[in-house]
Amino acid sequence: MFVNPLAPYQPRFTSAEFELLKQLRLDDLECSISSTLVEGAYARCGRLCVDRLKLIFETLSTEIGELSFLDLGCANGMFCIGLKALGARRVIGIDNDQHSHTLKMEISHCLDQGREDALKFGLDVEFLDRNLLTVMQTRDCDLECDVVMSLSVFHHLFLGYGYLPSDAPMVVLGDRAQFFFRWVEEHCKKYFIFETHENVFADWGPSQIADNLLATRIFESVRCLGETVGFDGKTRGLWLCSR
């Protein structure tokens, strides 16, 4: 699939698609967005993304109204907008355009897009312009949430910023990676959601990923919610870690 480097990495909902979202017609929403993903200069976005939103909602639908979400590396806020529209109690998105070099894409003013969409659809979503590495230097009680998400960011953080040793396929093997998990432990009350990526987890099967995440002694259970498709067409796993 061709990825337009000037397009948003995540789709932005049209008014008609937002109505589908509110009506919980997620399959129709997925079809609507995928039908407009065309090759060439007018490519709408880098990745469909609705497959991940569906898995998260299906898993947490019975309690979503009671949950607060923190989206680390929220890009233009598609998941923040989606989760708030689906009933989430509180949603915070954090990003900073300085990370875009790891994507090899020019995502300019991504938070501005999120704020515009939140205003357009009348949603109370908090967007914070902060660098993730700076955020993780200190504990911030205001960022404590029931659910911490690291969607298509986990591998950029470790590969792009050197938080993962080049010969280690799992983050718990490096001291610098423990730094990240300590921050998660301090800010995540119930669930941590992240994606695997072939460059980080190529040699690991599901049981090894789960065993190593449990080895952090932060999570009581770890399970794969299902497979999603990246902008490169390769499948990734979406994981839910419960405290």
pLDDT on residue 36: 81
CA–CA distance from 90 to each of 54, 69, 93, 236 (Å)?
18, 6, 10, 27
From first to last of the 243 residues of the chain, give the pLDDT tens digit. 445 556 677 889 999 999 999 999 999 999 998 888 765 555 677 778 899 999 999 999 999 999 999 999 898 899 999 999 999 999 999 988 655 544 544 555 788 889 999 999 999 999 999 888 788 888 999 999 999 998 877 666 655 555 444 444 444 334 556 777 889 999 999 999 988 765 555 555 667 778 777 877 889 999 999 988 877 777 888 999 999
Q: How far apart (Å, rounded) are the C-alpha atoms in residues 219 and 206?
A: 16
Instruction: Report which of 220, 234, 228 is spatially closest to residue 53, judged by C-alpha positions.
Output: 228
DSSP state of 11: -
Instruction: Report which of 119, 117, 79 is spatially closest to residue 95, judged by C-alpha positions.
Output: 79
pLDDT on residue 133: 77
CA–CA distance from 226 to each of 43, 49, 103, 133 (Å)?
26, 13, 23, 29
Q: Which residues contact 182 (CB under 8 A, 6 or more apart)?
A: none
pLDDT on residue 1: 46
Instruction: Report which of 187, 196, 87 is spatially closest to residue 147, judged by C-alpha positions.
Output: 187
Give me the torsion for CA of 87, 36, 55, 84, rounded to 10°.
-20
H runs (alpha helix) in the chain: 15-22, 26-34, 50-60, 78-85, 110-120, 132-135, 154-155, 161, 175-187, 198-201, 206-214
DSSP state of 148: E
Residue 241, beta-bridge partner list: 192, 222
Contact 220, 97 (CB under 8 A): no
pLDDT on residue 52: 94
State whether residue 132 is helix, strand or coil: helix
